[in-house]
Chain A
Amino acid sequence: MRGSGRTYWRLLVAGFRRQSTYRLAALGGLVANATFGFLKVAILFAAVRAAGGELEGYDVGAISAYIWVSQAMLGSVNLNGRTDLAERIRTGDVAVDFLRPVDVQGAFVATEVGRSLFAFLPRGLPTLAIGVLVVGVPLPDHAWALPLGLVSLLLAVTISATTVYLLATSGFWIVETRGLQILYMVLSGFLAGLFIPIWFFPEWLAVLASATPFPAMLMYPTDVLSGRVDGSGALMHVLVQVGWLLATVAAGQWLTRAGRRRLEVQGG
């Protein structure tokens, strides 16, 4: 990768800044996040209680943590697949990005992660706070759960960026990426375990979900933070995330190079 760490830091800060202009939008997002949170609480608490107080490793406390952590992450993981980059590739503006002395993938991921981390301030943390204050979210009882959970969270946000990057760069070969983007939008939330933990899925569906990067964007960090898994289980989740990160970064690098070659051959 070209470009110094400092460059990427700048890009990260820029992504951070851009978000701060949308305060009313953030409030709207917060109201929506919280409302859906309460509805999830109603139905999932009832489900856990109906199952005798424990369902697939979740008690009421763990399911509450799952709900509020996942709601809080909503504004920070890209589950709709929309990116400016896809548009720049479609119009050919991306040629300009290739002229800059920074790695295109690195710059994209840094900006996205900056945006994501910032979204935690007006949307994520207040959502979590509402859950903690109104419904109650138990602290993980394992000392390592919190730091490990934060690492897992950061990984999740990054994997979300590296994965939508793959989606965007498919535009070098496919003229109309809207179909793929819509497919991504429809399936990502479900397979990431947004409305129901993937552990509630029938065996085959859970296996299918685990074969995609989506659980690594939402399910695993909520598992670690809620204390549903601890010790080696939590460590395992984080390792799987690292695996997805490496895989998506490598695939992204390869797609970038191939896409650049294609751009040069076609002359933009």
Chain B
Amino acid sequence: MSRTDTAPGLAARSAPYRAVIASRVSSQRSHRTSFRVDLLSSLLVGLVELAEVAVLYLQVERIGGLDLAAALLVFAIADVGFSVADMVVGHCDNIPTYVRAGTLDVFYLRPQPLLLQLMTSDLQLRRIARAAVGVVALVVALGLTDPPFTVRTVALLVVALVSATLCFAAMFVWAGGVQFFLIDGAETTNAFVYGGRYAATQPATVWGRPLLVVFGFFFPMAFTAYLPVVTLLDLDGGQQLGLPGWIGWTAPLAALWAWALAAVSWRLGVRHYQGGGG
């Protein structure tokens, strides 16, 4: 059978992924009751997480240089980023399940890169409800903190949201790679993926040195929301950490670093699997 192997366009190359994603969407929409339960639960998860931050800042006026409004903004950016990443690639840290079900072997038999197949294999629409909580929180927080409505503000917000989403997506992929080695101890990666999400909603100024190393730089969680907010609202958190005022603009570099980590981890993981770890 003849096939056009010579430099197919983007549309042709993305067709397999679009077909899979479209099937996921239609399948989830066809199970209405179950989908509604999932949507509602996802909404509740978002609200509970919001409450965990709000309750604390209602008790104490200022923690680590953030007041309630600024903390809400940090939470919102981090949560939107995490929810979107979770919706799209959140299943990537389920490697043990995929290995046990033989799903990975099936991916190997298809002519697409493994990681792209995995990433597009299980889009979870329900998690959109949680992102909605983040978006509402973002709007409210922007109203409360009232940064000047300028190109700079909008640009910084966009940069922060995109970088945060990419960072969290990288965390899921990183975790997936590590789980090839830790089939029975996959929960270990939760410490950094979900711990990372929790860390991302905190002001980095409250961390001691070890936490700064782990969640400030190695897994660049401070760069997802806190540091952009510091730059946006011109807070002194950056100075306390010995970082310049414009540090929030470097969020894309953090995302790049996170993806470098993810790529290395995934490579090693796959090599381990092919080497017989599975």
Chain A–chain B contact at Cβ < 8 A: yes
Q: List the interface of chain A (C-beta within 8 A of B).
A: 22, 24-25, 27-29, 31-32, 34-36, 38-39, 42-47, 50-51, 55-56, 176, 178-179, 182-183, 185-187, 189-190, 195-196, 200-202, 205
Q: A182 and B191 in contact (CB under 8 A), knowing A28-B182, A42-B207, A202-B58? A: no
Residue contacts A-B, CB under 8 angstroms, 12 given: A27-B185, A28-B188, A31-B187, A35-B191, A36-B191, A38-B211, A45-B206, A46-B64, A55-B60, A56-B59, A190-B52, A196-B52
Q: A50 and B185 in contact (CB under 8 A), knowing A35-B192, A38-B210, A200-B55? A: no
Pick from B38, B60, B186, B207: contact of A47, CB under 8 Å = B60
Pick from A24, A38, A42: contact of B184, CB under 8 Å = A24
Instruction: Taking A38-B210, A39-B195 as given, write out 13 further A-B residue pairs in contact, using a Cβ cutoff of 8 Å, ordered by the A residue number.
Output: A22-B184, A24-B184, A25-B185, A27-B185, A28-B191, A29-B187, A31-B187, A38-B211, A42-B206, A176-B33, A182-B38, A186-B41, A195-B52
- Whether A182 pairs with B184 at a CB distance below 8 angstroms is no
- Whether B191 pairs with A42 at a CB distance below 8 angstroms is no
Pick from B184, B192, B211, B215: contact of A25, CB under 8 Å = B184
Residues of A within 8 A of B186 (CB): 28
Chain A, residue nearest B45 (CB):
A186
B38 to chain A, nearest CB (A): 8
Chain B, residue nearest A179 (CB):
B37
- Whether A43 pairs with B206 at a CB distance below 8 angstroms is yes
Pick from B33, B34, B37, B185: contact of A28, CB under 8 Å = B185
Chain B, residue nearest A27 (CB):
B185
Q: A32 and B190 in contact (CB under 8 A), knowing A22-B184, A46-B63, A202-B55? A: yes
Inter-chain CA distance A25–B183, complex, in Å, is: 9
- Contact mask B44-79 → A, CB, 8 Å, 1/0? 110010011001101111111000000000000000
Inter-chain CA distance A68–B165, complex, in Å, is: 31
Pick from A35, A46, A190: contact of B195, CB under 8 Å = A35
Q: Number of contacts between A and B (CB, 8 Å)?
A: 105
Residues of B within 8 A of A22 (CB): 184
Q: With a 10 A CB-CB cut-off, give which of A31, A42, A55 has the most chain B CB atoms.
A: A42
Pick from B44, B55, B188: contact of A196, CB under 8 Å = B55
Residues of A within 8 A of B206 (CB): 42-43, 45-46
A25 to chain B, nearest CB (A): 6
- Whether B182 pairs with A24 at a CB distance below 8 angstroms is yes
Pick from A39, A45, A196, A205: contact of B199, CB under 8 Å = A39
Inter-chain CA distance A190–B48, complex, in Å, is: 7
- Whether A186 pairs with B63 at a CB distance below 8 angstroms is no
Q: A50 and B56 in contact (CB under 8 A), knowing A31-B191, A35-B192, A187-B48? A: no
Residues of B within 8 A of A51 (CB): 59-60
- Whether B44 pairs with A28 at a CB distance below 8 angstroms is no
B194 to chain A, nearest CB (A): 8
Inter-chain CA distance A35–B195, complex, in Å, is: 7
B273 contacts the other chain (Cβ, under 8 Å)?
A: no
B17 contacts the other chain (Cβ, under 8 Å)?
A: no
Inter-chain CA distance A200–B55, complex, in Å, is: 7
B113 contacts the other chain (Cβ, under 8 Å)?
A: no
Q: With a 10 A CB-CB cut-off, give which of B52, B55, B61, B203 has the most chain A CB atoms.
A: B55
A135 to chain B, nearest CB (A): 10
B107 contacts the other chain (Cβ, under 8 Å)?
A: no
Q: A50 and B44 in contact (CB under 8 A), knowing A39-B199, A42-B206? A: no
Chain B, residue nearest A200 (CB):
B59
- Contact mask B158-194 → A, CB, 8 Å, 1/0? 0000000000000000000000001011111111101
A187 to chain B, nearest CB (A): 7
- Whether B188 pairs with A186 at a CB distance below 8 angstroms is no
Inter-chain CA distance A100–B62, complex, in Å, is: 59
Residues of A within 8 A of B55 (CB): 196, 200-202, 205
B198 contacts the other chain (Cβ, under 8 Å)?
A: yes
